[in-house]
Amino acid sequence: MTTLAGAALPTLPSTLPGTAAPVRMWLPEQETEPAALDQLRNIASLPWVHGVRVMPDCHLGKGATVGSVIAMRGAVSPAAVGVDIGCGVAAVRTDLVEEDLEDLGALRSAIEQAIPVGFHEHSAPVPAGTLTRIGARAGLDRFWEGFAALPEKVQDREGKARRQLGTMGGGNHFAELCVDSRDRRVWITLHSGSRNIGKEVAEVHIAAARGLEHNQALPDRDLAVFLADTPGMDAYVRDVHWAQEYASRSRAIMIGLLRETVAAHWSARGREVGFDMPVNCHHNYVSIEEIDGADMVVTRKGAISTREGGLALIPGSMGVGSYIVRGLANPDFCSASHGAGRRMSRTAAKKAYTRADLVAQTEGIECRKDRGVIDEIPAAYKDLHAVLRYQSDLVEPVAHLQTVLCVKG
């Protein structure tokens, strides 16, 4: 097990005072943005909320705090999932070791050719032959049949959604090659979501919820909810599950394309590559779970489930890499952080840092070093190692993966 060095930890979780429903935090209150604390109090004031759990990467979000796990009785708030429905991570270990790494500039170019990033998309949906070759999940045709049930407003987006399946997007989404700090094995890691279709589905439902009569007196209308056994909630749950599957399938396709690209890179050098230990999990999603002996609607916005005790990936930044962790199934909502979390907004990061700062902070890493990704500079993120120390009762670190190559949109 990886040892996490650091100073003595505060006693966590702590309870946020002055809330209607209990809010338990795996981050010291004094290290949390005042605006995020206000937002957590607003969430806890909703009459349907049973409890809130706050992960150590939490920061201000729209409506609901990023890094929050919310259990509700008979209701769901679309903002508590967010607009990137099904956003999550994937990873796979290779049998390469650090000494095998060479010509990473050419490999980065090959990855960027294989996987569209930013606003780009495939010129046509990934062909069935390619999906078979890379071992993509079966049942894609049946999955697409579900598109017809999505809101009418998005029905003309199907072509775009098909072309964006298996594409990365921008912002903090990435594909990386990383080196395990223990045995120097090379991993492929990925962070992506449901692209434009997930965003549009979410926005349709958030707008619909805001207009409902029972939401008019809320402290923050962005927290508007659908109530159980109503057409609005039924439609949202159906659509959010479709978008979650879209995101999961998209990650699986990209991992397949990444494996193929990495394998081709080393095959040209006479080296066959093996892969194992696959990971693929959401961190923006909704599920029905038993909480304190009752079935409740649980939303995770920037949090992973540890209920099954399996492997997950918790990313940091281009400069720090990620952790492979094993969930400890802590019965207190069975959750953990989804990453390091931002310590400053994108706008603030662009004002505070220069391209020279980005170059210095990503020294030795094959990645973009232009002004277009300054908002993703490592200093804009919290200390990933501290984030892991704060949640030692939630996850067990298995490996620290140091980034050596990063592709961003």
- Which residues make up each annotated binding site? 84, 172-176, 191, 283-284, 315-318, 322, 338-341, 408
Shortest CA distance to 331 belongs to which of 24, 56, 9, 18? 24
From the CB of residue 208, how many other CB atoms can be counted at a distance below 10 Å? 17
Residue numbers belonging to the annotated binding site for GMP: 172-176, 283-284, 315-318, 322, 338-341, 408
143, two tokens = 């999955």
Cα atoms in the 13 Å half-sphere on the side-chain side of 384: 24
Contact criterion met (CB below 8 Å) for 24 and 14: yes
Task: Name the catalytic one among 59, 265, 338, 385.
Answer: 338
Mind spelling out the 3-state secondary structure of the chain? CCCCCCCCCCCCCEECCCCCCCEEECCCHHHCCHHHHHHHHHHHCCCCEEEEEEEEEEECCCCCCEEEEEEECCEECHHHCCCCCCCEEEEEEEEEEHHHCCCHHHHHHHHHHHCCCCCCCCCCCCCHHHHHHCCCCCCHHHHHHHHHHCCHHHHHHHHHHHHHCCCCCCCCCEEEEEEECCCCEEEEEEEECCHHHHHHHHHHHHHHHHCCHHHCCCCCHHHCCEECCCHHHHHHHHHHHHHHHHHHHHHHHHHHHHHHHHHHHHHCCCCCCCEEEEEEEECEEEEEEEECCEEEEEEEECEEECCCCCEEEEECCCCCCEEEEEECCCCCCCEEECCCCECCCHHHHHHHCCHHHHHHHCCCCECCCCHHHHHHCHHHECCHHHHHHHCCCCEEEEEEEEEEEEEEC
Which residue is listed with tokens 């002055």? 18
Ramachandran assignment for 74, one of left (phi > 0), alpha (psi -120 to 50 degrees), beta (any other): left
324, two tokens = 């492979």
Instruction: Mark whether 241 is an active-site residue.
Output: no
Shortest CA distance to 191 belongs to which of 210, 178, 209? 178
Catalytic residue annotation: 338
